[in-house]
Amino acid sequence: MQSPTTTAVAPRSGRARAARAVREGAVPRPRADAVRNRERILAAAREAFVEFGSAAPLDEVARRAGIGNATLYRHFPDRDTLVQNVVLFTTERVTASAEASLAEEPDAFAALCRFTHTAADERIGALCPMLADGFDRDHPELLAARTALAAAVETLLTAGQEAGLVRADIGAGDLMVALSQLSRPLPGTACFDTDSFAHRHLQLFLDGLRAPACSQLPGSAATLEDLTLKTM
């Protein structure tokens, strides 16, 4: 049987450790299963938002993630939080893809092609909620992620243009709008093999980006900042 002294000391010791962790800014590491569930939810929500828009039923998101509604709400207490995190998740992955493509491919046009197809697989259309009314575009994490994405895509596109491989009359905004439009499924869910069609149409689009240009485009090249400003 434990002595009263031992019983009294242990809680004080535990509280002291907890207080010291708080003072030192230590944050408990999430469990591996919690990390996996979070990523599964984000991936499932991304698919659902691309297919149905950001108003997709959260029950459907939970079903696609293979988890219960309680687990979903434990990670993301409301729809706005989930949408914000999906946009952040997708933005960061697409940025990483742009950087890796330029670093690893033999030339800038090959890098552009790899990035475009990979971004489609990452469901870049899930970023559309960023342009919707009421979306918090000024959240610090999202601002930083958007800045990093713009820099990565503009660097990739500029490399191709400076090498004489990509037509000079397009901007990163043109590329990202086309990517989003061409990678989103048609309304409804009955379209056969949507991904295959998306990649075929993206390759047709990429062929149109080769230099020298065969036509003159109307209007002026669009940047990612242009897309943000036009929705404010």
- Distance between CA 192 and CA 57 in Å, rounded? 23
What pLDDT is stored for residue 186 in this prediction?
66
What pLDDT is stored for residue 203 in this prediction?
94
113 neighbors 204 (Cβ within 8 angstroms): no
Q: Which amino acid is at 95?
A: T
How many Cα neighbours within 13 Å face the side chain of 5? 0
Helices (H), 122-189: 140-162, 172-183
Count of other CB atoms within 10 angstroms of residue 79: 14
Beta pairing partners, 210: 166
Rounded to whole angstroms, what are the CA distances from 18 to 7, 14, 25, 114, 224? 18, 6, 11, 48, 45
116 neighbors 202 (Cβ within 8 angstroms): yes
Write down how long the chain is: 232
CB proximity list for 72: less than 8 A, separation 6 or greater: 41, 58, 61, 62, 65, 82
What pLDDT is stored for residue 193 in this prediction?
63
pLDDT tens, N- to C-terminus, the chain (232 residues) = 444 444 444 444 444 544 554 455 555 556 778 889 999 999 999 988 887 888 899 999 999 999 999 999 999 999 999 999 998 999 999 999 999 999 999 999 999 999 999 999 988 876 776 666 567 878 899 889 989 999 999 999 999 999 999 999 999 999 988 998 888 766 655 555 677 788 999 999 999 999 998 888 888 888 877 776 654 4
